[in-house]
């Protein structure tokens, strides 16, 4: 058994040496991989496997299951990291002839739990929008940006990608360019149109004069197209000024757009089209956000709810 045990440890040591010398992995990476792989060979020994060449796909998948169960189960992300180390070991061993086949290649990492998107109430959105104050060019721009994000459900990258000619006030629509070059036309509410008009009349000309001209609707202080990073800073800054305590993200107003539409009775497939989702399954995550509201309605309306 001692010799066999040495084979498992020798394979791990050879792989770690490969990572250190040929791949230039950091000490922290080597330490993490080493811990995961020694946990793996401990699992193999516990199942009677004393040589990497004797391991099978079921052993690799069983290791992942063991990581996710027991008294101290690992999170999906930690189990996925351990599996990455194990797959790297088997791939290395197969390439170097230590084993005849890579039995780990078909084993997939556990799916991470989906987090519900953070949203704001309608009152909190109004509070956030009120955080954009001032009649200067940047204040008018910031208000136009946030109104557009909430009114259209656009991603920040889509909002900063809007050109002046993409907005059609007569039909109250805007052309958005989404992921993969896909385009969609979405409605724009009157408050957003009013904010954009104020920006176009009283704000944009002053900034546009600072550059050689750009078709972009939203401009930075140099007269160039506003970047995604700058737009994110605008959103975060408005939240701080308005005193919004809920954590905001670049997609916060997009999440609010979808959640508030569904709460108002919009069909999920209509919301899917407005968001530009390829699959309705992606949109359906928003149907789970209002669990508290549903529970409150149930508690007040169902005759057996208070039993």
Q: What are the residue numbers of the active site?
A: 155, 179, 251, 254, 277, 286
Q: What is residue 219's three-state secondary structure?
A: strand
Say how far apart CA 183 and CA 179 lie, in whole Å.
8
Say how far apart CA 255 and CA 257 lie, in whole Å.
5
Give me the residues paired with residue 187 across strands.
173
Say how far apart CA 298 and CA 170 lie, in whole Å.
43
Residue 221 DSSP label: T
Q: Other C-beta atoms within 10 Å of 80: how many?
A: 17
Q: H/E/C letters for each residue in 259-279?
A: HHHHHCCCCHHHHHHHHCCCC
Per-position b or e across 126-140, b if 16+ CB within 10 A of its CB:
ebbbebbeeeebbbb
Specify the residue for token string 């979405």.
186
Sign, CA torsion 105/109/111/112: negative
Phi–psi pair at 267, nearest 5 degrees: -70, 140
Distances (CA, A) of 27 to 16, 78, 129: 10, 18, 47
Say how far apart CA 58 and CA 39 lie, in whole Å.
16
């Amino acid at each position: 058994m001692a010799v066999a045990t040495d084979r498992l440890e020798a394979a791990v040591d050879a792989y770690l040496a490969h990572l250190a010398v040929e791949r230039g992995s950091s000490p922290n990476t080597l330490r993490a991989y080493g811990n995961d792989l020694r946990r793996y060979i401990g699992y193999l020994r516990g199942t009677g496997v004393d040589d990497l060449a004797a391991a099978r796909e079921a052993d690799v998948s069983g290791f992942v299951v063991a990581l996710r169960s027991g008294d101290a189960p690992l999170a999906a992300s930690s189990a996925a990291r351990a599996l990455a180390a194990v797959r790297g070991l088997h791939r290395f061993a197969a390439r170097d002839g230590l084993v005849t086949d890579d039995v780990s290649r078909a084993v997939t990492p556990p799916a991470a739990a989906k987090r519900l998107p953070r949203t704001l109430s309608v009152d909190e959105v109004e509070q956030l929008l009120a955080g954009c104050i001032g009649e200067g060019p940047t204040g008018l721009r910031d208000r136009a940006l946030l109104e557009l994000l909430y009114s259209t459900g656009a991603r920040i990258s889509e909002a900063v990608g809007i050109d002046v000619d993409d907005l059609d006030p007569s039909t109250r629509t805007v052309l958005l360019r989404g992921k993969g070059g896909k385009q969609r036309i979405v409605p724009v509410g009157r408050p957003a149109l009013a904010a954009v008009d104020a920006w176009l009349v009283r704000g944009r000309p002053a900034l546009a004069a600072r550059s050689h001209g750009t078709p972009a609707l939203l401009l930075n202080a140099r007269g160039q197209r506003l970047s995604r990073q700058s737009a994110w800073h605008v959103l975060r800054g408005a939240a701080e000024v308005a005193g919004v305590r809920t954590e905001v993200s670049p997609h916060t107003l997009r999440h609010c757009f979808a959640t508030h539409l569904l709460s108002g009775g919009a069909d999920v497939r209509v919301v899917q089209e407005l968001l530009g989702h390829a699959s309705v399954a992606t949109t359906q995550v928003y149907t789970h956000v209002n669990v508290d509201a549903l529970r409150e309605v149930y508690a007040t309306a169902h005759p057996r709810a208070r039993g």
